[in-house]
Amino acid sequence: MPDFEVTPETITKISSMFCVPEQHVADWHDLYKRKIKKSMKRHYLAHVIRTMEESLRELPGNEMFRIICTPVAENSENIGIASSHYYKGRFFAIYYHPSTNEKQLRIMLAHELGHLFLLELVNTQLGQNYDGTKQIEPLSTIMGIFTIFDKNEFYHNKTTAFTHISKDEVLNDFHLLHNRNRGRYNI
């Protein structure tokens, strides 16, 4: 498996290749790890979340609708579970424990999204009347299953065409962007 860890040598190479001071590259990498990478865990189903947000924004009164995934306090006793709360017309919040196993977190997020799928999309698009008491747990699980099947199919069967085989290949592809400054568009 290729190694894409950013090492001090990687920072030096990036600095040299793109004419940026090494300390800037190191500082930016540190900031990326603290502000972006650290929060990525709650966005594992971002494709699904973004698509559901867009679909729900089409409903009257939902123009600014958002789905928010947020961890509870580290010392919470709610380990291994997720919960959600729907603020109709405004947002849908999913809460989870920050120490949740990452594979299990995807399952839990998908299940919680299943609740929203039933309460809004199925009710609106198919004229159903799910209200939180009518078999919503197993049906939310079914939606979650479809979501994870779809994500796994994507990861296993479709992503290889987008994957780089080495850090050097990534750096070279980005280096090609400099050709645009010379009027050549080759990527």
Tens of pLDDT, residues 37-95 = 877 766 777 888 898 889 888 877 788 889 998 888 888 877 777 889 988 888 999 99
User: Which residues span the domain enclosing 19?
Assistant: 1-35
DSSP state, 66?
A: E
What's the total number of domains in the chain?
A: 2
Residue 81, domain member (yes or no): yes
Does residue 178 or residue 53 have the better pLDDT? 53
31 and 63 both lie in a single domain: no
Give the global pTM: 0.75
Report CA torsion sign: 70, 71, 77, 78.
positive
86 and 30 both lie in a single domain: no
Report CA torsion sign: 38, 39, 41, 45.
negative
pLDDT at 29: 94
Residue 60, domain member (yes or no): yes
pLDDT at 1: 63
CA dihedral of residues 43, 44, 50, 51 (deg, nearest 10): -170
pLDDT at 11: 94
Does residue 116 or residue 136 have the better pLDDT? 116
Tens of pLDDT, residues 133-169 = 667 788 888 888 988 888 888 777 777 777 888 999 9
69 and 150 both lie in a single domain: yes
Query: What is the side-by-side strand order in the sheet with 82-87?
Result: 66-71, 91-96, 82-87
Residue 61, domain member (yes or no): yes
What CATH number is attached to the domain comprising 64? 1.10.10
Query: Distance (Å, rounded) from C-alpha 170 to C-alpha 168?
Result: 5
